[in-house]
Amino acid sequence: MSMDKFDFDATLLTVNFATRLLAMELDKDTLLDRTLEAFCDLGSCKDAAILGYDRKGDLFIYAASLDLERTFPNEQIPMTKAMEEAAKSRAPVTRPKLEGSKYPLPGDSCAECPETCLCIPLVGSRDLVKGFVTLYRKNDKPWSIAELFQLGIISTVAAISYENSELFRLTIEDSLTGLYMRRYLFIRLDEEVQRIKRRGGDLSVIMVDIDHFKLVNDSYGHATGDEALKQVANILLENSRRGADIVCRYGGEEFAILMPGSKKEDAMIVAERMRIGCAESNILTTNGEIKVTISAGVANSDECDLLAGDTMLRIADKRLYDAKKAGRNQVVCEG
């Protein structure tokens, strides 16, 4: 087989892989996780990062793979000259790794440093740069033309997928907390139920309610209540499994966390982590610090008939109110 034939076949496989893995995914965290996986796999590296601009135009690291361990730093960083060059040319650039950075970021060139940090611009519609993907190899193996071509294909698919996920999220995102709304919970619940019917597996759900929330509104006003809701939402998100769990505002002060691939024991651990996170946090509001707690109920797909996916939600919701009847600030997983 000739080299041209080999490269052509490899490119077709890459397009197919990228399309299946990224193009149909609308959940942002899952998309970040899958993008890191795709770039590390095709780039033959363990370290990668995804950078993007916020609404103010500042650059943030949204996700990183460090020795294949995924993190979601959401950390602001300055633009480097290599990034500026990649943004201007709309093409990949290679540089040494930025000295002193734990993330794989491109630094300035130097004669004695191997250029093993690759910076690829994420170019979306209207030729706009949405951010960057950076890759780092811990050896001096150069990036081949075939690799750059294949990674360029992945970057295009990823950029368009991010745009689609942003547009979709606007229709299903709660404007107050930034979490998914109830309608998206049922979309994903139906998808996961169908997946389990085809392939088997686990699915868990956590129903969460803020204890005595009416008292917060009555004592401090609804503006303070909204501040508390946003901070509790952040605590739930921080204690969920990023890239795996779907955290939603179910309604009012009630939340639901859908956990694909999770056994009941795993969901219990996450629910307890969320409960402790709320109990140990001081909620900062314009009326000063306040304390809030949550109650939670946990259910798993093994406990119910999944012909109707909302059966599991009803079980978890019942256990949530069992937790409230038992004194609040606790997680109930049975009964």
User: Annotated catalytic residue: which of 25, 192, 227, 253?
Assistant: 253
Instruction: Give the count of beta carbons closer than 10 Å to the beta carbon of residue 26.
Output: 17
Alpha carbon 308 to its chain's center: 27
Tell me which residue of 189, 219, 209 sits closest to 290, measured CA to CA. Answer: 219
Query: Which residue type sits at 297?
Result: G
Taking the C-alpha atoms of residue 106 and residue 95, their distance in angstroms, rounded to an integer, is: 5
Q: What are phi and psi of 273, to 5 degrees?
A: -65, -40
The secondary structure element, H or E, covering residue 235 is helix 222-238
Query: Which residue type sits at 333?
Result: C
Helix (H, G, I), strand (E, B) or coil at 44: coil
Q: What is the residue-wise DSSP string for 159-222?
A: HHHHHHHHHHHHHHB-TTT-SBPHHHHHHHHHHHHHHHHHH---EEEEEEEETTHHHHHHHH-H
Q: Sort strands 246-251 and 203-210 into parallel, antiparallel or unpaired.
A: unpaired
SS3 percent helix, strand, coil of the chain, rounded to 5, is 45, 25, 30
Q: Is 238 a catalytic residue?
A: no
Query: Which residue type sits at 74?
Result: N
Taking the C-alpha atoms of residue 160 and residue 257, their distance in angstroms, rounded to an integer, is: 27
Residues serving a catalytic function are 253
